[in-house]
Amino acid sequence: MARVKLNKNMKSNKILLLILIISTLFVLTGCMPNDGSYTNEEPANFLSGIWHGWIAPISLILSFFNNTRIYEPINTGFGYDFGFYLAIVGGFGGLSLTRKAKNRDKRK
Protein backbone atom coordinates (compact mmCIF):
# COMPACT_ATOMS: atom_id res chain seq x y z
CA MET A 1 0.00 0.00 0.00
CA ALA A 2 2.81 2.43 0.87
CA ARG A 3 4.57 1.63 -2.39
CA VAL A 4 1.49 2.60 -4.45
CA LYS A 5 1.17 5.87 -2.55
CA LEU A 6 4.87 6.60 -3.08
CA ASN A 7 4.52 6.04 -6.83
CA LYS A 8 1.56 8.44 -6.99
CA ASN A 9 3.55 11.10 -5.14
CA MET A 10 6.52 10.61 -7.46
CA LYS A 11 4.29 10.95 -10.52
CA SER A 12 2.70 14.12 -9.19
CA ASN A 13 6.14 15.54 -8.36
CA LYS A 14 7.34 14.81 -11.90
CA ILE A 15 4.27 16.47 -13.39
CA LEU A 16 4.74 19.49 -11.13
CA LEU A 17 8.41 19.73 -12.13
CA LEU A 18 7.50 19.52 -15.82
CA ILE A 19 4.92 22.31 -15.43
CA LEU A 20 7.49 24.42 -13.58
CA ILE A 21 10.12 23.92 -16.31
CA ILE A 22 7.67 24.77 -19.11
CA SER A 23 6.44 27.86 -17.25
CA THR A 24 10.00 29.03 -16.66
CA LEU A 25 10.84 28.61 -20.35
CA PHE A 26 7.80 30.69 -21.33
CA VAL A 27 8.82 33.44 -18.93
CA LEU A 28 12.41 33.43 -20.14
CA THR A 29 11.48 33.49 -23.82
CA GLY A 30 9.09 36.40 -23.31
CA CYS A 31 12.01 38.84 -23.36
CA MET A 32 14.20 37.37 -26.08
CA PRO A 33 16.55 39.58 -28.08
CA ASN A 34 15.26 40.85 -31.43
CA ASP A 35 11.61 40.37 -30.48
CA GLY A 36 10.57 43.79 -31.77
CA SER A 37 10.12 45.40 -28.36
CA TYR A 38 13.06 47.80 -28.82
CA THR A 39 13.05 50.79 -31.17
CA ASN A 40 15.58 53.44 -32.13
CA GLU A 41 13.82 55.81 -29.71
CA GLU A 42 14.00 53.26 -26.86
CA PRO A 43 16.93 50.87 -27.51
CA ALA A 44 18.00 48.01 -25.27
CA ASN A 45 20.05 49.30 -22.32
CA PHE A 46 22.45 47.95 -19.70
CA LEU A 47 19.84 45.92 -17.81
CA SER A 48 18.55 44.42 -21.05
CA GLY A 49 22.12 43.45 -21.87
CA ILE A 50 22.43 41.65 -18.54
CA TRP A 51 19.15 39.82 -19.12
CA HIS A 52 20.06 38.85 -22.68
CA GLY A 53 23.43 37.60 -21.46
CA TRP A 54 21.80 35.40 -18.84
CA ILE A 55 19.38 33.85 -21.32
CA ALA A 56 21.97 33.57 -24.12
CA PRO A 57 22.14 29.75 -23.91
CA ILE A 58 18.37 29.53 -24.37
CA SER A 59 18.56 32.04 -27.22
CA LEU A 60 21.28 29.97 -28.86
CA ILE A 61 19.21 26.79 -28.71
CA LEU A 62 16.12 28.57 -30.06
CA SER A 63 18.13 30.14 -32.87
CA PHE A 64 18.55 26.68 -34.40
CA PHE A 65 14.77 26.37 -34.83
CA ASN A 66 13.63 29.90 -35.70
CA ASN A 67 14.92 33.39 -36.48
CA THR A 68 15.92 34.25 -32.91
CA ARG A 69 19.07 36.26 -32.25
CA ILE A 70 21.35 35.95 -29.22
CA TYR A 71 22.15 39.66 -29.25
CA GLU A 72 19.79 42.66 -29.59
CA PRO A 73 20.92 44.75 -32.58
CA ILE A 74 18.99 47.86 -31.48
CA ASN A 75 20.92 48.80 -28.33
CA THR A 76 22.59 51.72 -26.55
CA GLY A 77 26.09 50.63 -27.46
CA PHE A 78 28.65 50.31 -24.70
CA GLY A 79 26.08 50.02 -21.88
CA TYR A 80 24.29 47.08 -23.49
CA ASP A 81 27.55 45.42 -24.54
CA PHE A 82 28.99 45.77 -21.03
CA GLY A 83 25.86 44.29 -19.41
CA PHE A 84 25.78 41.43 -21.90
CA TYR A 85 29.46 40.67 -21.30
CA LEU A 86 29.10 40.84 -17.50
CA ALA A 87 26.23 38.36 -17.59
CA ILE A 88 28.06 35.94 -19.87
CA VAL A 89 31.32 36.02 -17.91
CA GLY A 90 29.82 36.31 -14.45
CA GLY A 91 27.05 33.81 -14.99
CA PHE A 92 29.10 31.07 -16.59
CA GLY A 93 32.82 31.75 -16.33
CA GLY A 94 32.75 33.23 -12.84
CA LEU A 95 31.85 29.93 -11.23
CA SER A 96 34.80 28.09 -12.71
CA LEU A 97 37.20 30.84 -11.68
CA THR A 98 36.15 30.56 -8.04
CA ARG A 99 36.41 26.78 -8.14
CA LYS A 100 39.97 26.99 -9.41
CA ALA A 101 40.88 29.38 -6.63
CA LYS A 102 39.36 27.10 -3.99
CA ASN A 103 41.19 24.08 -5.39
CA ARG A 104 44.50 25.96 -5.28
CA ASP A 105 43.87 26.88 -1.65
CA LYS A 106 43.12 23.26 -0.72
CA ARG A 107 46.34 22.00 -2.32
CA LYS A 108 48.53 24.37 -0.29
The verdict on 50 and 75 lying in the same domain is yes
Query: Would the pTM of this model clear 0.85, i.e. be above it?
Result: no
Cα–Cα distance, 56 to 84 (Å, whole number):
9
Kindly list the distances between the CA atom of residue 47 and the CA atoms of 2, 57, 72, 85, 97, in Å, as whole numbers in the listed order. Answer: 50, 17, 12, 12, 24
9: domain range?
Answer: 1-30
Number of domains in the chain: 2
Average pLDDT across each block of 10 residues of the chain; the chain has 108 residues. List them in order: 59 86 76 84 93 87 84 92 91 59 58
User: 3-state DSSP call for residue 75?
Assistant: strand
